[in-house]
Amino acid sequence: MAVGLEHFLILSAVLFSIGLYGVLAKRNAVIILMSIEIMLAAVSISMAAFSRYSHVITGQVFVIFIMVVAAAEVAVGLALIITIYRRKKTVDAEKFDLMKW
Amino acid sequence: MPNVAVWAIFLLPFFSFLIIALILRPFFNHKPQFSAYTTIFAIAGSLALSIWALISVNGAEHHVLTDVSHQWLSIGDMVINIGITMDSLAAIMVVAVSTISLLVQIYSIGYMKGDGGLARYFAFMSLFTGSMLGLVMANNLLFLFLFWEGVGLCSYLLIGFWFHKPEAARAAMKAFLVTRLGDFGFLVAVILLYVKTGTFDIGELHTLALAGVLGGSTLTLAAIGIFSGAVGKSGQFPLHVWLPDAMEGPTPVSALIHAATMVTAGVYLVARMFPVFASSETAITIVAIIGGFTAIFAASMGLVATDVKRVLAYSTISQLGYMMLGLGAVGIGYASGHLDEHHALALGVAVAIFHLFTHAFFKALLFLGAGSVSHATGTFDMRMMGGLRKVQPWTYATFVIGSLSLAGIWPLAGFWSKEGILHEANAYTPVLFWLAMITVFMTAFYMFRAVFLTFHGEYRGDVEGSHSHGLHESPKIMIIPLVILAIFAVIAGWLPVGDFLGADVHFSFFGALTSWLAWASLGFGIAGILLAYAIYGKKLVSAKSIGQSLGPIYTLLIRKYFFDELYERFFLMRFFIDGISAALEWIDTYIVDGAVNGIATVTVAGGSLMRRLETGQLQVYGLSIFVGILAIVAFLLIFS
Amino acid sequence: MMGLDIAFWVLAVVSVSTALAVVLMRDVFRAALFLVLCFFSVAGIYVTLSADFLAGAQVLIYVGAIAVLIIFVIMLTRESRQGSPSGRLRLPAILIGLFFLITMLFVVLNTDWHVVAEPPAESATTAIAQALFSEDGFVLAFEIAAALLLAAVIGAIALVRDK
């Protein structure tokens, strides 16, 4: 059947769920970050799909901005991971519980 | 007589109490004579004012001097007054109470000499006298109840005067609790009457009862409630168990409170509320039955008692039963239509109060005499006495006069007052009349048994006991009150008490001997004296052999019909403590505490559940955020 | 349009499977490599969506920078034994993921999308440029994005420098 908007949206949803699982269930902080990237990519796909199927360019502009933010966020996030690794010698997310009380 | 003076009759002893309690005891405890003189001064003042009141009432219209009320509290619609009345009944009572109280205080100076707590003793004696005087002058039930509780409190304090003795402390507690049972009924009755009539005032209640406005079951229940208070206070069956134990208190206390005054408050109450009682046939029949039964019941236990004060205690209970019987008999006569209202109301009060009046004198005399005996021998156990008439002639003489009066021998006081009651009982309650006659026999018997055991025969005791001063007569300060009381025990019956109280009583000194009733009661009395003489005087028959041949009856009597066991072991221990209290304790532990602890447990459990959300781990937070988002989305999808 | 369809399906399968590999794989480094593949496939999907500029940007930024950085950090934070195990919240996460997916499917399939079937006529790059830099476009957002990047750079350096 012809590929329509729904296909892209479903693909986006699937990718987003996979990324969500990775964020919530994995213990290695770097994997969590990678999963976040997957989620962002999924959202980007759905944005681009909307842009294509409604002929409004704003979707793609939005994707540009998503990329900008993603890049910034990865930079800062990785810096954080390195700092924590230096202190605690681990990147196990279950060990990061300084926010407890 | 100005109203202020009437109020002062009961206020003077109160002031004396306050002075002793607040000034003399804290600062002058080492000089107890100050407390003694303060008390005596105050009570003498009350006596003087009482006599003045008596004379004024005699001259007043309808024999009512005054009846004034002042408002004390008003709570919404309810108005509580304090008020006093001075009519013939109140006048007789205040004279009797202050006279005997004064004589007992004078006696106490000798008897209680050397006791460390004398200031406390006289303080309580003052408080008691004030409360008793207030009680008989109160004109509304709530104010009366206030003094009712006051005399109960003083009784507790004075029975337990030697509080370091465990028997005394227990006896005081028993007295308080048992009378409290009766007081509960009294209070319920007062409240019931207020709810139904809107007043506490005694005069108004009389009017309502006689007019029939207050009637039926309300009236009967209220009367029974008031009577239950009287039963408790006067030691009638079934609340009689406290009076014999109350003998643990000092003898002057027994003389004043448990013979002449406080216990008579129950009789006074019924007499004061007589129009209410007489208007309910059920209630007044109950009064008569309990009175008559108690008379013979208590007398039976006095037959075997070995402690002279116990004998006198049972005698008191028995004589109070007579007074109730008198009230009851006249009331039954009125309720059954034989007497008209005007005659009946005055007559009932007259026969009972006349006997109360004479009884107060000779019973107080007998108690003080027993105190005098113990002053010499150091004991009250009659088995350790004997032959004391040679050593204590004054005590012996006055004691015999008192005993003869109590036995109702003509022409002493007891004869006239007992005749009054027996006459009414014969007319309206024949069964109870014969019980009362048997009681006459028993009364004479046990009193003279006591006389012979104590004063005749050989001395069986141990002279060098710790409390004795060697066998000798008591000091004058103790003998003088005995003599004064003995004089009254002779002449009190000749005073026109009945007429004063408004009844048509025909007093005829020799004419009384013409009735068959007089000879019957004299016969029973003399028979009792002779039997006592035979057993204990001449020892024709051994008391022990009689006791053994009537073994089971003897056991029943000496164990007081097992009432103490019934009340304490069965009701108190098994029913209340093991039963109800245990059940309540279970409820308290498992339900009340369980609920509170349950809340705590639930909170802790909830907390430990909530704790899992606050782990500090990002992923948990992320999860909870997502769950929330999904919940909102789902909600929006489903409901819109 | 046939080619587009085939391309879409292939790329979709690849992206989903590589994403799965990323989250399920034990070895972190291999997961990173699969991430690179995932990014490439996403770039391909952009191409099927006629978003050519985006495809290029995706490869440059994501693969070229982000993935490289991630690999650097993996090297720096080697936990030889641990690797990438699953956490405690595996089951709830699966459930949430499934639930989300089902919700999204429900929404997507039940909404009436007003679609335009033909691809856009204009070149994407031009359109994006115009949208970004024209007066009534996203110039302000562009500038703020630049500031954001500056802040990120400064922040990253501040975090990791030796005091």
In a domain, A14, yes or no: yes
Q: Give all chains having 3 or more CB-to-CB distances under 8 Å with chain A.
A: B, C
- C1/C62 same-domain check: yes
- C75/C130 same-domain check: no
In a domain, C115, yes or no: no
Asked if B615 is an interface residue toward chain A (Cβ–Cβ < 8 A), one would say yes
- Cβ contacts of A53 on chain C, cutoff 8 Å: 113, 115-116
Asked if B59 is an interface residue toward chain A (Cβ–Cβ < 8 A), one would say no
User: Least CB-CB distance to C66: which of A70, A82, A85?
Assistant: A70
CA-based nearest residue to B322, from B410, B423, B233: B423
- Residue B371 neighbours by CB under 8 Å, 6+ apart: B107, B111, B251, B252, B255, B478
In a domain, C93, yes or no: no
Residue A36: pLDDT above 50?
yes
Q: Do A25 and B617 touch (CB under 8 A)?
A: no
Cα distances from A47 to residues A50, A64, B99, B525, C80, in angstroms, run 5, 10, 114, 125, 39
- Kindly report the number of other CB atoms within 10 A of residue B303's CB atom: 17
Q: Does residue C92 have a cis peptide bond before it, meaning omega lies within 30 degrees of 0? A: no
3-state SS class at A92: strand
**What's the pLDDT tens digit per position in A42-78?**
999 999 999 999 989 999 999 999 999 999 999 999 9
- Cβ contacts of A94 on chain B, cutoff 8 Å: 617, 619
State what percent of residues in chain B have pLDDT above 90: 46
DSSP tag of B140: B
Closest chain C residue by Cα to residue A39: C19
In a domain, C146, yes or no: yes
Residues B426 and B418: their CA atoms lie apart, in Å, by 12
User: Least CB-CB distance to A13: which of C28, C79, C108?
Assistant: C108
Residue B604: pLDDT above 90?
yes
In a domain, A35, yes or no: yes
**What's the pLDDT tens digit per position in B560-580?**
888 887 887 777 777 777 778
- Cβ contacts of A87 on chain C, cutoff 8 Å: none
- C128/C72 same-domain check: no
Q: Do C87 and B619 touch (CB under 8 A)?
A: yes
Residues B287 and B276: their CA atoms lie apart, in Å, by 13
Domain that holds residue A71: 5-92
Q: Do C32 and A34 touch (CB under 8 A)?
A: yes
In a domain, A100, yes or no: no
Q: Whose structure tokens read 């003189």?
A: B37
State what percent of residues in chain B have pLDDT above 70: 99
- Single out the residue in C84, C111, C145 at which a domain terminates: C84
In a domain, A67, yes or no: yes
Residue C85: pLDDT above 80?
no
HSE at residue B372, side-chain half, CA atoms within 13 A, is: 33
User: Least CB-CB distance to C87: which of A14, A64, A93?
Assistant: A93
pTM exceeding the 0.80 threshold for the entire prediction: no
Comparing A70 with B501, the larger pLDDT belongs to A70
pLDDT value for B468: 46
- Single out the residue in C36, C63, C84 at which a domain terminates: C84
CA-based nearest residue to B250, from B388, B367, B170: B367
Give how many domains chain A has, as a whole number.
Answer: 1
* C90 CB-contact burial (10 Å; exposed 0-12 / middle 13-18 / buried 19+): middle
- Single out the residue in C30, C59, C84 at which a domain terminates: C84
**C14-29: buried (b, 16+ CB within 10 Å) or exposed (e) per residue?**
bbbebbbbbbbbeebb
Residue B346, both tokens: 């005055």
pLDDT value for C122: 80
**What's the pLDDT tens digit per position in B395-426?**
999 999 999 999 988 888 889 899 889 988 88
In a domain, C136, yes or no: yes
pLDDT band at A98, cuts 50/70/90? confident
**Beta carbons of C89 and B623 less than 8 angstroms apart:** yes
- C79/C127 same-domain check: no
Domain of C79: which CATH number? Answer: 1.20.120.1200
Residues B328 and B223: their CA atoms lie apart, in Å, by 12
- Residue B189 neighbours by CB under 8 Å, 6+ apart: B221, B222, B223, B224, B225, B226, B228, B229
Residues B498 and B416: their CA atoms lie apart, in Å, by 11
3-state SS class at B74: strand
In a domain, C68, yes or no: yes
How far away is chain C from the Cα of A100, in angstroms, using its nearest Cα?
17
In a domain, A50, yes or no: yes
Q: Give the distance, in angstroms, between the CA of residue B128 and the centroid of all CA atoms in the same chain.
A: 12
- Residue B320 neighbours by CB under 8 Å, 6+ apart: B234, B235, B236, B263, B264, B266, B267, B291, B294
pLDDT band at C108, cuts 50/70/90? very high
- Kindly report the number of other CB atoms within 10 A of residue C158's CB atom: 10
pLDDT value for B271: 93
What's the angle, vertex CA B140, arms to CA B137 and CA B141, rounded to 5?
A: 105
pLDDT value for B465: 44
In a domain, A83, yes or no: yes
Domain that holds residue C151: 121-163
Q: Give the distance, in angstroms, between the CA of residue C135 and the centroid of all CA atoms in the same chain.
A: 29
Q: Whose structure tokens read 């006289």?
A: B122
pLDDT value for B467: 46
Handedness of CA B585, B588, B590, B593 (dihedral sign): negative
Domain of A49: which CATH number? Answer: 1.10.287.3510
In a domain, A80, yes or no: yes
pLDDT value for B474: 86
Asked if A10 is an interface residue toward chain C (Cβ–Cβ < 8 A), one would say yes
Q: Do A6 and C113 touch (CB under 8 A)?
A: yes
What is the complex's ipTM, to 2 decimals? 0.92
Q: Whose structure tokens read 């025969």?
A: B457
Interface test with B, best of A80, A96, A98 (most B CBs within 10 A): A96
How far away is chain A from the Cα of C117, in angstroms, using its nearest Cα?
7
CA torsion, ordered C15, C17, C23, C29, to nearest 10 deg: -80
In a domain, C143, yes or no: yes
Residue C81: pLDDT above 70?
no
- C75/C125 same-domain check: no
In a domain, C66, yes or no: yes
In a domain, C10, yes or no: yes
In a domain, A86, yes or no: yes
**What's the pLDDT tens digit per position in B215-262?**
788 889 999 999 999 999 999 988 999 999 999 999 999 999 888 888
Residues B18 and B122: their CA atoms lie apart, in Å, by 11
**What's the pLDDT tens digit per position in B511-554?**
777 788 888 889 999 999 998 888 887 777 777 777 777 778 88
**What's the pLDDT tens digit per position in C41-80?**
999 999 999 899 999 999 999 999 999 999 999 998 887 6
Comparing C36 with B259, the larger pLDDT belongs to C36
pLDDT value for B208: 85
H runs (alpha helix) in B533-569 = 543-549, 551-558, 563-564
**What's the pLDDT tens digit per position in B437-481?**
999 999 999 999 999 988 888 787 776 544 445 677 888 889 999
Q: Which long-range contacts (CB under 8 A, 24 or more apart) does B187-193 make?
A: B187/B145, B187/B225, B187/B229, B188/B225, B189/B221, B189/B222, B189/B223, B189/B224, B189/B225, B189/B226, B189/B228, B189/B229, B190/B141, B190/B142, B190/B145, B190/B225, B190/B226, B192/B218, B192/B221, B192/B222, B192/B225, B193/B141, B193/B218, B193/B222
Residues C58 and B325: their CA atoms lie apart, in Å, by 118
Residue C157: pLDDT above 80?
yes
Arithmetic mean of pLDDT, B309-332: 93
**What's the pLDDT tens digit per position in B353-376?**
999 999 999 999 999 999 999 888
Arithmetic mean of pLDDT, B64-90: 86
Give how many domains chain C has, as a whole number.
Answer: 2
Q: Do B623 and C100 touch (CB under 8 A)?
A: no
